[in-house]
Amino acid sequence: MLSATSSAALLSLVPLALSAATTGTFDAITFNVAGLPAILNPNGEGDKTNNTATIGKLFAKYGTDFIHVQEDFNYHATLYANDNHPYRTATSGGVPFGSGLNTLSNFDWVDFERTKWATCSDASENDCLTPKGFTFMRAHVSEGVWVDLYNLHADAGTEDADNTARAANLRQVSDHITTYSDGNAVLVFGDTNSRYTRASDIPGIFTTANGMTDAWVQLAKGGVAPAAGSNALLCDNPSPNTTCEIVDKMWYRGSPAFTLAATKFQYAGTQYLNADGTTLSDHDPVLVDFKWTVSNKLRVSDPQGGPHGDFYNDLNALNAIASPKASSITIRGANRVDAVSITLTSGQTFTHGGTGGTANTLKLNAGESLTSAVICQGAYNGNTRIFYMQVTTSAGRTVAAGTNNGDCVTRTAESGWGIVGFTGRSGDELDRVALIYGSL
């Protein structure tokens, strides 16, 4: 079971039909804010407290939707005191206790966790001095539009041990995406300390292993990454153009439920300067604009339930089917919902949860579809779980299991759509569930 905790409880939502926005935009920035104590690393120009205060004020001024910061160590309080984003991660501490990774956002999230690198090196930098690593969260952009965000600060230096550690760092994030972000939209952005031109680095792993696009390669390099072993494309700070390469990067992908496209890429250093034109950090921030558009084949509701159990997601499997339609549904339960299972007309079955409780099955008639669900959550042994679920068909027939405790939402597919699968979290019971709708 993934031991993740949410920065805020997943709130019960009012009944919603599948009639939310079908397209929208957001922007994201990654910025190493040079928050190491000056005695350890005098990176950037001027006084660090003043620089950090200015960064916070500029974050508030520009209002970027997702902000990932690295090296947010001993000046963290100053940064947050000057910013006004409504959602922000709590610091994990200054040097040597914290990772320096934090997120500021205009959108709420669930499932926030911090992970330390399994491999680090002190060969040429003090990378093992703090518990550097990566963070993960699932951000709520719009109804049914959730994006997995990864913030990372990889090992620095160019000694053999540094190169080995840095490659291991990126593989660790890639493996996490494979396991926990299957079927989901993903953004990876942070200080990778990697270059495509450096033969020992592997920044392409997110493209080859996770199906992601590097926004810089796509929009600044015509879709072709620099060749490994070629001359480094060094940048000024701030850089007057985006054709050079810095170690701060951003990758993205959409999901079967919505497309995600990078529409603008910038090195934003000229937006983050002191009044006298001096730099606030030794890093140039990377700013990318995105557009999302929901799919005409598969869409997802918002979830009900809590941050417990293992992740599951039927989206990728459903996307491989030309026109998925349900033929039956089974809900197992007694005091709570133990499991949910759906069988498609193609013969495939998706089951999530345990084996307890009583199984209640409803077989659909020709032309009948699953159109809505009442889903109730409650607390059991300190965990939020699904206590009750009732699904209704287009003919008005129902199937249900569990105990209706009153903390419920109703999810309803809009005309021409039906429930064909699920995504959420489960263990021996159903901990969280969202509906996946298919176009009929």
Residue range 270-283: average pLDDT? 95
- Per-residue b or e along 5-21, where b marks 16 or more CB atoms closer than 10 Å to that residue's CB: ebbeebeeeeeeebebe
* Beta-ladder partners of 103: 68
What is the model's pLDDT at position 163? 96
The tens digit of pLDDT for each residue in 306-356 reads 999 999 999 999 999 999 999 999 999 999 999 999 999 999 999 999 999
Residues 36 and 74 sit within 8 Å (Cβ to Cβ): yes
How far is residue 179 from each of residues 77, 175, 176, measured CA to CA in Å?
Answer: 34, 6, 5
Q: Identify the band that residue 62 occupies on the pLDDT scale cut at 50, 70 and 90.
A: very high
pLDDT above 60 (res 7)? no
Q: Give the mean model confidence (pLDDT) for residues 184-194.
A: 98
The Cα-based distances of 121 to 116, 163, 200 in angstroms read: 13, 9, 15
Dihedral, CA of residue 114, residue 58, residue 41 and residue 123, to nearest 10: 40
Q: At 20, is the pLDDT very low, low, confident or very high (cuts 50, 70, 90)? A: confident
CATH topology for the 298-439 domain: Vitelline Membrane Outer Layer Protein I, subunit A (2.100.10)
User: If we measure between CA atoms, which residue out of 58, 6, 426, 417 comes closest to residue 268?
Assistant: 58
Quick one: which of 47, 35, 48, 49 has its CA closest to 92? Answer: 35
Q: Looking at residues 270-288, what average pLDDT do you find?
A: 96
Rounded distance between C-alpha atoms, residue 95 and residue 73, angstroms: 6
Which regions of the chain carry the CATH code 2.100.10.30? 298-439
Geometric angle at alpha carbon 218, from 105 and 268, rounded to 5°: 45
Q: What is the pLDDT of residues 80-129, one digit of tens each?
A: 999 999 999 999 999 999 999 999 999 999 999 999 999 999 998 889 98
Mean pLDDT of 371-382: 96
Q: What is the mean predicted confidence (pLDDT) over 296-306?
A: 97
Mean pLDDT value across residues 254-258: 98
Under the banding of pLDDT at 50, 70 and 90, the label for residue 19 is: low
Give tens-digit pLDDT for 131-169.
999 999 999 999 999 999 999 999 999 999 999 999 999
Q: Above 60 in pLDDT, residue 17?
A: no
Q: What is the pTM (predicted TM-score) of this model?
A: 0.94
pLDDT at 85: 98
Portion of the chain with pLDDT greater than 70, in percent: 95
Separation between Cα atoms, residue 57 and residue 76, nearest integer Å: 13
More confident residue, 149 or 42: 149
User: What does the block give as tokens for 396?
Assistant: 């008005």
Q: What is 23-294's CATH topology?
A: Deoxyribonuclease I; Chain A (3.60.10)
Give the pLDDT band (50/70/90) at residue 191. Answer: very high
**Mean pLDDT score, 188-209:** 98
> What are the start-end ranges of the H helices in 151-214?
160-180, 205-208
Please, where in the chain does CATH 3.60.10.10 lie?
A: 23-294
**pLDDT surpasses 60 at 402:** yes
The answer to whether residue 373 scores a pLDDT higher than 80 is yes
Q: Where are the alpha helices (DSSP H) in 249-326?
A: 315-319
